[in-house]
Amino acid sequence: MPPRVRPFVVGVVAVAVTLPLVTAPARATADVPRTGFETSHGAHWTSAPDEQRFLAAVDRSSDRMEVRRIGSTARGRPLQLVRIGAHRGTDVILLVCGQHGNEPAPREACLLTIRALARDESRATRALLAHITVLVIPTANPDGRAADTRTNSEGTDINRDHLALRSAEAGALAAVIRDRHPDVIYDMHEYDATVPSYDDDLMTLWPRNPNTPAAVHREARLLSDAYVRPAAAAAGFGSGHYGIWTDQVTGHALRQVAGDGEERILRNMAGIKNAVGLLVESRADPIGDTEKAHPVFGYRRRVATQLAALKGVWGYAERRRGQLEAATRAARAAGLEGRGPIYLGGADNDPATPAQTLADPPCGYRLTTAQYTAVRARLDLHGITVHRTTGGAFVTLRQPERALVPLLLDARAGYPLTAGRPSVDCLRPGAR
């Protein structure tokens, strides 16, 4: 089977990718750090030691990159954050790679993207990084990656832990979001197709949680459908919406099998925290007889799909930076005003019921000392403002992540940390 040639862009660096071989950047020489995936010509995924050597080598070769440890897994493996580009004061794009340890292609794409953005000297790349800081968590689930499991070593699905933050991995990511306030949170995964109604090369989905601010929701849909999916299409990859089976003749939706508004999922938590979130899933199962007989062909396609989709992120950042900044800043300010309903359930395509709607939310929630002690660390990881009181603590809704507070503390929410007491007495935070 002759290789197919699909040109696309890593960051803003033109790269020719010949499938089934993923090549290095055009300026590659012997001193360019290579991933284990590259040195094996796509036959093997990059090992944890190879990842550490690769990141250290890229860091040494670039004056615009920083790698730091942001935590440790239960097995002691490092959780790392890579920063590329400008410092504080710029828009921030966060790439989260491989929350599920048995989905390795996103991690490989992220490592290649780190190298491209850190080392490219073109005017276009420098212009992009003058206004955008790119943060990358290259391996969001190191224990799961080592074991080739969806969950971490404690059996936790990290992508169902972004509310409770019981895992070290979700907690470390929450702290990054709290401290850096990313404008875009791009969450990279893989999925298994259901032929013929659900089998595109790439699937995307925005935050469906109804607490996502309207302008943020609009930007997330634009990122998906006007940038990421067209970028994949330009490279020859088909795309669709995650969780929606479609009729192959009419293109109409048949049914929704995943992708609701649940607040524990990262793309939804991104919207609740006023960021433009996007879930991206490349197809993991083999396509055709060649990939079934020779898995390496599929490995290379999966990484190439993720890299092609990333081109859309950089195009979006270049063209809609002003609208992105306006949407996320306005959303954070609106939380401080404390107006409007809050939804304890539902989705953008499944309206919340009256029982799931706080039409007139309380001004805050009161916690006993015991309750506050139990949830204090996780409230802090979320960046929730808390006022200490003589009887425990008062958590006001007048804060940027206003909608998150009831999801954490209202007994009627789907997954509350504790059942706080709703309060209408906002003038006296210390009242019993």
Helix (H) or strand (E) holding 139: none
- Vertex 295 angle, CA 292 and 300, to 5°: 125
Q: Is the pLDDT of residue 428 over 90?
A: no
Q: Is the pLDDT of residue 296 over 70?
A: yes
Alpha carbon distance 49, 35 (integer Å): 10
Report pLDDT digits (tens) over 391-414: 999 999 999 999 999 999 999 999
Q: Is the pLDDT of residue 30 over 90?
A: no
Report pLDDT digits (tens) over 45-60: 999 999 999 999 999 9
Report pLDDT digits (tens) over 278-290: 999 999 999 999 9
Confidence grade of residue 425 (pLDDT, cut at 50, 70, 90): confident
Sign of the CA dihedral with 336 first, then 339, 343, and 346 last? negative
Interval 263-280 mean pLDDT = 98
Q: Are 125 and 27 in contact (CB under 8 A)?
A: no
Q: Is the pLDDT of residue 16 over 80?
A: no
In this prediction, residue 420 carries a pLDDT of: 98
The structure's pTM equals: 0.93
**Which spans in 40-87 are helix H?**
48-60
Two tokens at 271?
A: 């919207």
Question: For the domain with range 4-330, which CATH number is right: 3.40.50.720, 3.40.630.10, 2.40.128.20, 3.40.30.10?
Answer: 3.40.630.10
Confidence grade of residue 31 (pLDDT, cut at 50, 70, 90): confident
Q: Is the pLDDT of residue 21 over 90?
A: no
Two tokens at 426?
A: 């906002």
- Ramachandran quadrant class, 139 (left: phi over 0; alpha: psi -120 to 50; beta: rest): beta
Q: Is the pLDDT of residue 306 over 70?
A: yes
Alpha carbon distance 127, 23 (integer Å): 25
Q: Is the pLDDT of residue 9 over 50?
A: no
* Secondary structure of residue 404 in the 3-state scheme: helix
Interval 152-176 mean pLDDT = 98
In this prediction, residue 4 carries a pLDDT of: 34
For the chain, how big is the Rg over CA atoms in Å? 22
Identify how many contiguous H helices and E strands the chain contains and give both numbers.
14, 18
Interval 418-430 mean pLDDT = 82
Q: Where are the domains of the chain?
A: 4-330, 338-423
Alpha carbon distance 90, 173 (integer Å): 20
In this prediction, residue 88 carries a pLDDT of: 63
Q: Are 317 and 93 in contact (CB under 8 A)?
A: yes
